[in-house]
Amino acid sequence: MATEHIVRSYDEELQRLETMLIRMGGLVEAQLGDALSALGRRDTVLAEAVIGNDQAIDELHFDIDEFVVRMLALRQPMANDLRAIVAALRIAGDLERIGDYAANISKRTIALSHSQIIKPLAGVVRMGKVAQQILKEVLDAISRRDADTAKIAWGRDSEVDEMYTSVFRELLTYMMEDPRNITPCTHLLFMAKNIERIGDHATNIAETVYYMVTGEAMRERRPKRDTTSFTDPDELNRPGERGGA
Amino acid sequence: MAESGRGLLRALALVLLPIFLVGGILTYEGLLDPVAGLAGLLALTLIFALQAWRYLRGIEDLRRLVEALAEGDAQPYGSHRSHPVLRELGSAIARLDRTHRERERALTMLVEAGDTVFDSVPDPLIVLDGESRILSANRAARESFREPLPDRHVSTVLRQPALLKAVFSALHEDVLRTVEITLSDPVERVLSITALPLPAQPGAGKILLACHDVTAERRSEQMRGDFVANASHELRTPLASLLGFIETLRGPAREDEEARDRFLGIMHGEAQRMSRLVSDLLSLSRIELREHEVPSGSVEVVPLVESVAQAFELQAARRSIKILLDPAPGLPAVVGDADELKQLLHNLVENALKYGREGGTVTVCAVLPGRLPASYPRAEGGAVAIAVRDQGDGIAREHLPRLTERFYRVDPGRSKSVGGTGLGLAIVKHIVNRHRGALTIESEPGDGSVFTVYLPADRASAEPGPAETLPRAG
């Protein structure tokens, strides 16, 4: 889709930058969605496709980088425009990382396809869906230039963190139960970590969008609910306090 | 008229000057009698001036006629004092104008009919220009996307790479392409979109995006697979135990009356568990199948809460738990499906009774919430919150985000002993999703839990009341 037309005006250049950014967002969103459905269905063909598509994201990231540098040099933007351009650069960086994590999840999906189906996989996929929702809201906020949506999405990262903590404990329990579970659970653990990082990058984007639209940095502290660093393996053997639904 | 007067003078001067000149030379040369010549010239001038005056007036009338037509005057200025040729010209122009007007009317009608057809197609249709900007969208598209569409670049509404590729092919390669894309807003919808080039002036390409919702088809395919997988997995355990008991009853315990009674009791329990599981799986599938269709009914909150509480009177009495109802006065109705909301509340109250402290209370309150949770989809019109609080042991923090997963059990043994299927909260979650609401769970171990459901208020019945804060766990 490389439409190389001669850019005439500054406004057109800004417009083009936004279109490129949204296109990149769409690509990354699709990559994450595909990576998760490949994991859920253990579909190695789809996982291979995700790994192959990562190149397109990297190329687009490079294009945006170059475009931004050229605009900064030639147009010397001010105020609103400067914010939009700098924001685009930052958002593209975060999107590129998310794309890498999606590809990484797919690589592990392929590695996982040889081991038996283990139950915590559903939890990882579900956690991924929440991250995907947040990414979607953040991208919507970019195209609508909507600081409120960005802020709401920003607040939702704690959902991902909490699920990460829960999945982490669940995986540890499975590993302690049976050493044969260690290989698949380790893959799932890394995938869960990747998804947790995706949530963090989506939060970064939300902060950037907020800054781009309002001109102010988000001052509140980010809600952090990832407590895995304090997980004590002995504590895991205690029975749950309460039965589920 | 001053304009035409000046024109007349100019024309007179132009035509008569050479004649006067020739007459003057002839008179000077003695070839023409000065008096007769002068008289002749004056007569000529007079005749010419009269003729020219008539023509000019006719042309002036024509001008007015054309002006009147251009301004859309249906009964144009009549021209009856001018030359016959000009009069004919005038009526020809009027005729031409009439045919144009008729053709225009026919075209307008055609366009209007086209617009009506465009708007009444049940599938969303979107027209893009050559720059992939949205030119127009029909009613179905406006309702489906629920945000302003015209004038926006298509990628700000639908950024799926497959769709953008299809738009590009339609625009630059004149190729018709159909793609299937998934939207999550917030419940997943699958749209099959065809991008086809429309006839347009060269250089100004136009594309029609014809969308067709295939969510129901895709869902029923997936649901069938999920159902079989879930059912076979979860039914296997009770079935195996049933088979085991049957074998024992037929073999070693054939004559043992005491064992037979005990086994039959266990078998009855297992069979009941299977039956509960099957009915929960069925209702889960039913709700999931329709999850993308937002319900449109209106349900009053207080009668709903009361009827559910009544249904549990006996069960509550058995564990000597009191059910307390605390609905705020003047609550608006909620938008929803009465049966599903009843099931939702039923499941929440049932859980509270199962896991609540014996001899405690279960509180069901309904208020207009002051703040909505982040997971509540943005919607106008506000929400009603229904909270079910128990005084049980509470749930550890790390389990909270997972509770609505199907078959996720905090304590499998306890869940089994109270007859849980592992699907109750999954059903609640899906009902909430279908209603575009939100579910929050707050709990502190030792302090009990609060399950709060936020449902969209029915604007038609809404009268703003004071916002209240919900009780916290404990």
Contact between chains at B401 and A166 (C-beta distance less than 8 A): yes
ipTM: 0.76
What is the least distance, in Å, from the CA of B439 to any CA of chain A?
Answer: 13
- Which of 1.20.120.80, 3.10.129.10, 3.30.70.20, 1.10.287.130 would CATH assign to domain B216-293? 1.10.287.130
Considering Cα of B83, then B85, then B87, then B93, what sign does the dihedral take? negative
A242 touching B (Cβ < 8 Å): yes
- Contact indicator for B8, B49 with CB cutoff of 8 Å: yes
pLDDT at A59: 93
A22 touching B (Cβ < 8 Å): yes
Residue of chain B whose alpha carbon sits nearest to that of A164: B398
- CA–CA dist B372, B366 (Å, integer): 14
Residue of chain B whose alpha carbon sits nearest to that of A168: B398
- CA–CA dist B179, B160 (Å, integer): 10
Contact between chains at B161 and A30 (C-beta distance less than 8 A): yes
Contact between chains at A245 and B351 (C-beta distance less than 8 A): yes
pLDDT at A77: 77
Contact between chains at A156 and B375 (C-beta distance less than 8 A): yes
Distances (CA, A) of B263 to B235, B249, B259, B266: 19, 8, 6, 5
A139 touching B (Cβ < 8 Å): yes
- Contact indicator for B242, B267 with CB cutoff of 8 Å: yes
A1 touching B (Cβ < 8 Å): yes
Contact between chains at A1 and B165 (C-beta distance less than 8 A): yes
pLDDT at A2: 42
Helix (H) or strand (E) holding A191: helix A182-214
Contact between chains at A242 and B401 (C-beta distance less than 8 A): no
pLDDT at A8: 60
Q: Just give the CATH number of A8-236.
A: 1.20.58.220
pLDDT at A164: 93
Chain A CB contacts of B148 below 8 Å: none
- CA–CA dist B252, A38 (Å, integer): 50
**Nearest CB neighbour to A29, from listed B159, B420, B426:** B159
**Nearest CB neighbour to A23, from listed B164, B172, B422:** B164
**Sequential DSSP letters for B239-276:** HHHHHHHHHHHHTTTTT-HHHHHHHHHHHHHHHHHHHH
Angle between helical axes of A147-155 and A182-214 (0-180°, round to 10): 150
Chain B CB contacts of A38 below 8 Å: none
What is the least distance, in Å, from the CA of A75 to any CA of chain B?
Answer: 24
- Which of 3.30.420.40, 3.40.50.720, 3.30.565.10, 3.30.70.360 would CATH assign to domain B294-474? 3.30.565.10
A27 touching B (Cβ < 8 Å): yes
What is the least distance, in Å, from the CA of A99 to any CA of chain B?
Answer: 14
pLDDT at B183: 84
Span B187-208, pLDDT tens digits: 788 899 998 888 877 767 788 8
What single-letter DSSP state applies at residue B457? Answer: B
Residue of chain A whose alpha carbon sits nearest to that of B413: A243
Span B33-86, pLDDT tens digits: 778 877 887 888 888 888 888 788 778 888 888 888 888 765 655 555 667 777
Contact between chains at B398 and A22 (C-beta distance less than 8 A): no
**Nearest CB neighbour to B411, from listed A25, A155, A239:** A239
Size of interface A-B (CB pairs under 8 A): 129
**Nearest CB neighbour to B422, from listed A144, A149, A245:** A245
Side chain identity, residue B304: L
Residue of chain A whose alpha carbon sits nearest to that of B225: A41
pLDDT tens-digit profile, chain B (474 residues) = 556 567 777 877 887 788 778 878 888 887 777 788 778 878 888 888 888 887 887 788 888 888 888 887 656 555 556 677 777 888 888 888 889 889 999 999 999 998 899 889 999 999 988 888 888 898 888 888 877 788 888 888 888 888 888 888 888 888 888 888 888 777 788 899 998 888 877 767 788 899 998 888 888 887 777 777 777 778 888 888 889 888 888 888 788 888 888 888 888 988 888 888 888 888 888 888 888 888 888 999 999 999 999 999 888 998 899 999 988 888 899 999 999 999 999 999 999 998 888 888 999 999 988 888 877 876 667 889 999 999 888 888 888 888 888 888 888 778 777 777 888 899 999 999 999 899 999 988 888 899 999 999 887 765 544 455 555 544
Structure tokens at B227: 């159902």
**What b/e readout covers B215-245, taking b as 16+ CB neighbours within 10 angstroms?**
beebbeeeeeebeeebbeebeeebeeeeeeb
What is the least distance, in Å, from the CA of B338 to any CA of chain A?
Answer: 22
Q: Which residues contact A157 (CB under 8 A, 6 or more apart)?
A: A134, A199, A200, A202, A203, A222, A223
Contact between chains at A22 and B397 (C-beta distance less than 8 A): no
Class of domain B121-213: alpha beta
Residues of chain A whose pLDDT is less than 50? 1-7, 238-245
Structure tokens at B6: 């000046």
Chain A CB contacts of B147 below 8 Å: 144
Chain B CB contacts of A22 below 8 Å: 153, 155-156, 159
Chain B CB contacts of A240 below 8 Å: 396, 399, 410-411, 414
Residue of chain B whose alpha carbon sits nearest to that of A125: B405
Side chain identity, residue B369: P
- CA–CA dist A212, B86 (Å, integer): 68
Q: HEC profile for A52-108?
A: HHHHHHHHHHHHHHHHHHHHHHHHCCCHHHHHHHHHHHHHHHHHHHHHHHHHHHHHH
pLDDT at A4: 44
Q: Which of B402, B403, B407, B430 to mutate against chain A (most A CBs within 10 Å)? A: B402
Contact between chains at B378 and A163 (C-beta distance less than 8 A): no
The pTM score is 0.74
**Sequential DSSP letters for A115-127:** SPP-TTHHHHHHH
